[in-house]
Amino acid sequence: MNWFGRWRRTRILARHAILPADFDAVLAALPILHRLDALERARLREAASLFIHGKTFSAAGGAEVDAAIQLVIAVQACLLTLNLGEDSYRGWNEIILYPDEFLRAREEMDEAGVVHHTRDILAGESWHGGPLVLSIADVASSGQADGVNVVLHEFAHKLDMLNGDANGFPPLHRGMNTAAWARDFGAAYDNLCHRVDAGEHTAIDPYATTNPAEFFAVLTEVFFETPALLDMEYPAVYRQLQQFYRQHPLASPGAEP
């Protein structure tokens, strides 16, 4: 970061930093953040402050968007990028909030060239190069360490889209092995698809079998929400996500990732 970037960052934090009491209240309400040590919490507060200042929160469907819901979204979005670059959510600006699940019309062409029109009920959606959409009701139930987190899910898609359309293969860091990522994620995806197709009740949401992009997003949820489950089910994927996010949710607070 150049001198102007540092100056601008310092200026924003001096004027718009989240109040410590507000930040502490959100942390207390979100069990997935309880493992963070004091230094990580301080960095998360700064990152969330910059995030809120840099993004536009818009209401849709009669939603009421207040500072509290913005903070809940920001701290969880910034948990993903806590040890990544502050520009990880570059290239887009708007977060659209509905009060509850919302309908989205879709058009899909099948192999025969026939266009099918559907209406899906969604809790969240990420558009490549465009806004991110969330249901406030689903945001309110995220972060409880139960494995389900619409905020982490949709922001994982945004990270996946940094090198194009979401496909479960985000840009990896220097030193990460692309062949190992493809091998580990591919094997786990095939395994889960086979188990779901066989009618097995899986601890990991079957929605992950929709496609590799959804697999990456769902397993990101599991990595932060219920990491022991992911480590038990697919330890190789846990290790890949540990390298990608540069975090180790299973470790004690302050441990090296």
Please check whether residue 134 lies inside any domain of the structure.
yes
Please check whether residue 256 lies inside any domain of the structure.
no
- Could you read off the pLDDT tens digit of each residue along the chain, which spans 257 residues? 777 778 887 788 888 899 999 999 999 999 999 999 999 999 999 999 999 999 999 999 999 999 999 999 999 999 999 999 889 999 999 999 999 876 676 666 667 766 655 656 767 788 888 899 999 999 999 999 999 999 999 999 999 999 999 999 999 999 999 999 999 999 999 999 999 999 999 999 999 999 999 999 999 999 999 999 999 999 999 999 999 999 999 975 544 44
The DSSP result for the chain, as a single string, is: --HHHHHHHHHHHHHHPPPHHHHHHHHHH-GGGTT--HHHHHHHHHHHHHHHHHSEEEE-TT----HHHHHHHHHHHHHHTTTS-TTTTTT--EEEEESS-EEEEEEEE-TTS-EEEEEEEESEEE-TTS-EEEEHHHHHT-SSSSS--HHHHHHHHHHHGGGSS-SS-PPPPTT--HHHHHHHHHHHHHHHHHHHHTT---SS-GGGGS-HHHHHHHHHHHHHHSHHHHHHH-HHHHHHHHHHHT--TTSPTT---
Please check whether residue 209 lies inside any domain of the structure.
yes
What pTM, to 2 d.p., does this model score?
0.90
Q: By C-alpha distance, which of 30, 42, 44 is closest to 83?
A: 44
Domain that includes residue 137, residue range? 3-245
Say which CATH number the domain at 65 has: 3.40.390.10
Please check whether residue 257 lies inside any domain of the structure.
no
> How many domains does the chain fold into?
1
Please check whether residue 181 lies inside any domain of the structure.
yes
Please check whether residue 252 lies inside any domain of the structure.
no
Please check whether residue 53 lies inside any domain of the structure.
yes
Lay out the sheet containing 94-98: strands in order across.
56-59, 94-98, 132-135, 124-126
- Report d(CA 139, CA 106) in Å as an integer: 23
Please check whether residue 24 lies inside any domain of the structure.
yes
